[in-house]
Amino acid sequence: MRRAAFRLQPVLELRRAQERAAAVASADASRVAAQADSRATDRESALAGARLPASLPPGSFIAAMTLLRAAASDASESRALAIAQAETAALVRSEWTAAAQRTKGLERLRERYLLAQRMAEAAAEERTVDDLVTGRAGRVRDREDVPWTE
């Protein structure tokens, strides 16, 4: 008995490829988000450790304050970027989840198809065996009904 191919196999393969691509994109987005968070934490730590000397001439004081303000602004922008990268990573991860769900649905269809194929093959084999048994039983009965002339 010739087995029919699963007609949605090309679609399943495409979905698997899409899922793999989404997984790679998710891993990349997570890595970028982690790096952005690390940079933001480093800048925040550097800003927290910055101290002004007790006495400075007015020009140096203004320069130090300007530098601290720039560092605070940079730390704030780094944190905002880290938050945006984390949100992007979450979005990409949700796209990966959706791709995995689409793939899983087709895989379940394929499993049902293969189960139906196996059941059909088992039923065909059982019918064949039944035909052999009932055919032999019929032949034995035919021989018993015929008187032997020896």
Domain boundaries, the chain: 9-117
Q: How confident is the model at residue 74 (pLDDT cuts 50, 70, 90)?
A: very high
State pTM to two decimals: 0.68
The 8-class DSSP code of residue 8 comes to T
Rounded Cα distance between 147 and 150, Å, is 9
Cα three-residue angle 75-80-83, rounded to 5 degrees: 125
Residue 100 confidence (pLDDT) above 60: yes
Residues 25-30, mean pLDDT to the nearest whole number: 97
Tokens coding 141: 């009965």
Rounded Cα distance between 135 and 95, Å, is 60
Q: How confident is the model at residue 135 (pLDDT cuts 50, 70, 90)?
A: confident
Mean pLDDT of the chain: 88
Q: What is the pLDDT of residue 19?
A: 96
Structure confidence by residue, pLDDT tens digits, 110-133: 999 999 999 999 999 999 888 888
